[in-house]
Every structure is written in C-alpha cells, then in structure tokens.
C-alpha cells in the first residue's frame, strides 16, 4: 500500500505515523479539533499523542488489524489541513 509522503510505517507494521509541530499548544489543539471533526464524519479516528506544541498521529484500521485505504485517506486529509491555508489579510468585510 502506498503511504502519503512524510508518513512512516510503524514498527509493528500495523499503522502509519507522522508528527507535526505547531506554534503552541492552543494551535495544536485547534488543529486536532479540525481533524476530529473530519474523523467523526468519516467514522475513522486517529490515535494521537499531544505534547505542548507537537502532535503525533498513528492511523490504523482496527477492523483490519492493519493499514487500509481509510488510513491513507485520513492521512491525506490531515496533511491537507496542515497546509498553510490560503487565508489572506482582508480589508473591511464589505470590501472585495
Ligand atoms: C463502530 C465504528 O464504526 C468502528 O469501530 C470504526 C470507528 N473508528 C475507527 N477508526 C479507526 N482508526 N479504525 C477503525 O477500524 C475504526 N472503526
């Protein structure tokens, strides 16, 4: 199974893992919340460890006791959410 760039296969071969670093804990927690909302919709949930400004995700499919397309799909969502958003500084609300 191809795993997305930057993710590594766990020692037990049953998961893919990746760590992220944020400005601080609240940024990390906000990110985790965005991932959680997606996970609920997808009914596929990450295992995660949080330590101040770092998050470590471990993705595995319990039903398959290993890595499936649901894990790689969730990994791609996590990577997409982690990409700097295209938010631009805006003028007043009413301006274009
Ligand atoms: C009953 C429920 O749909 C299943 O337990 C879902 C929930 N979320 C899940 N998340 C993950 N990572 N793996 C699963 O196998 C899984 N199964």
Q: Using one digit for the tens of pLDDT, what is the confidence trace for 5-55?
A: 999 999 999 999 999 999 999 999 999 999 999 999 999 999 999 999 999
Give the architecture-level CATH label for domain 8-90: 2-Layer Sandwich (3.30)
Q: Do 6 and 72 meet the contact criterion of CB atoms below 8 Å apart?
A: no
Calculate what percentage of the chain has a pLDDT beyond 70.
Answer: 95
Confidence of residue 64 (pLDDT cuts 50, 70, 90): very high
* pLDDT average, residue stretch 54-81: 97
User: From ligand 1's centre to the CA of 6, what distance in Å?
Assistant: 23
CA of 39 to the centre of ligand 1 (A): 10
Q: Which of 43, 68, 69 to mutate to test the pocket of ligand 1 (most atoms within 8 A of CB)?
A: 43
- Give Cα separations from 45 to 3, 76, 85, 89 (angstroms): 17, 13, 23, 33
Which residue in 27, 32, 3, 26 sits closest to 15, CA to CA?
A: 3
CA of 21 to the centre of ligand 1 (A): 26
pLDDT of res. 90: 74
CA angle 22, 26, 28 (to 5 degrees): 40
Q: Which three-class secondary structure state does DSSP give residue 23?
A: coil
| Domain layout of the chain by residue ranges | 8-90
Cβ count near 27 (within 10 Å): 14
């Amino acid at each position: 199974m191809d795993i997305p760039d930057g993710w590594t296969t766990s020692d037990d071969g049953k998961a893919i893992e990746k760590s992220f670093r944020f400005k601080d804990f609240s940024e990390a927690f906000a990110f985790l919340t965005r991932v959680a909302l997606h996970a609920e919709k997808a009914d596929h949930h990450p295992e995660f460890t949080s330590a101040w400004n770092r998050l470590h995700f471990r993705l595995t499919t319990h039903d398959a006791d290993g890595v499936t397309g649901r894990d790689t799909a969730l990994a791609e969502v996590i990577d997409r959410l982690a990409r700097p958003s295209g938010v631009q500084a805006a003028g007043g609300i009413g301006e274009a």
